[in-house]
A and B are shown apart, each in its own frame.
Chain A
Amino acid sequence: MHQHLLQRVAAGEPSAIEECIDRYGGLVWSLARKLVGAHADAEDAVQVVFIDLWKSAARFDPNVASETTFVALIARRRLIDYKRRRLRQQDQVQSLPIDDVDVVSREQRSDAGELVEEASRAAAAIRELRPEQQEILRLSVYDGWSHQRIADHLQVPLGTVKTHVRRGLIHLRNLLKGGSTKLVDQEARS
């Protein structure tokens, strides 16, 4: 029976651990550079993410999400925590543009197939959102901006930003889950 990489990691299979680092290292590193910023901080953060991945590997359920999405979830969670801690420590995080460093083309990625499929499904869901929702979701989810910063930047109330983020995520979640149970935004119904 086919075993997913994370299931092999959970079993402590030596080759799976190295394979996992090689398959997802670039993704985690890219997210760390985007969300945490400075090179040294990103290096620390990547170590934190992978330790949590080793701990969480046994929780991976292919019926709930793909492996790539699960890794991205763990990475985002740890990177957000890391960034919050750093912000408390230094009250400021420097953000570097992502396109000033070595970029691996889609064809070079060993996991290109899964990433592309995942990305295209999510991208299709995002395209269904209104343009202002797309922008706010991008600033929040991808650029890692705080809701307050987005509100200040776009000169809209904080509550509006929170509503767009919430509705955008619910919309994505419902589309990605297909015909299963749906979350409903209370305000959207009224």
Chain B
Amino acid sequence: MIEPSRGDERLIQLLADKATEGLSLSQQNELDHLLAVHPEVGPEELELAAAAATLAMIDVSIQRLPSRTRVELLSNATRFFSMNGRAPARPNVQTRWNDQDYS
């Protein structure tokens, strides 16, 4: 069980803020420092909790990715993996859905 001392409350608060609102640069630096002091606390633990909560709440309202965005993602992925020396993706520009929501 990880029980932060009263002085370490700040660490937990910064983790919660990061998971919900994001942090300023100075707050992120402060968090990095506190995490270095407390290696037993995982830096992503509350972000994972927030992600899981999001999945619970979004469950019935997943939207389709617009086809143009999908094509652009594939194109950017090709560039990214080529630049990083890994096998490039071969974009399949054929749209999977005939969605008309991007016009």
Contact = CB atoms under 8 A, between A and B. Distances in A.
Contacts of A120: 56
Contacts of B99: 102
Interface residues of B, number: 63
Contact of A77 (B47, B55, B76): B47
Nearest to A127: B56
A17 B80 CA distance: 11
Given A27-B62, A104-B62, A123-B56, A18 B89 contact: yes
A123 B76 CA distance: 35
Interface in A26-70: 26-31, 33-34, 39, 43, 46-47, 50-51, 54, 64-65, 68-70
Interface string B34-77: 00000011001111111111111111111111101110111011
Interface size class of A (residues with CB under 8 A): 35 or more
A141 B57 contact: yes
Contacts of A14: 87-90
A43 B102 CA distance: 11
B65 to A, nearest CB: 4
A4 interface: no
Contact of A29 (B4, B8, B20, B69): B69
A21 B77 CA distance: 10
A5 interface: no
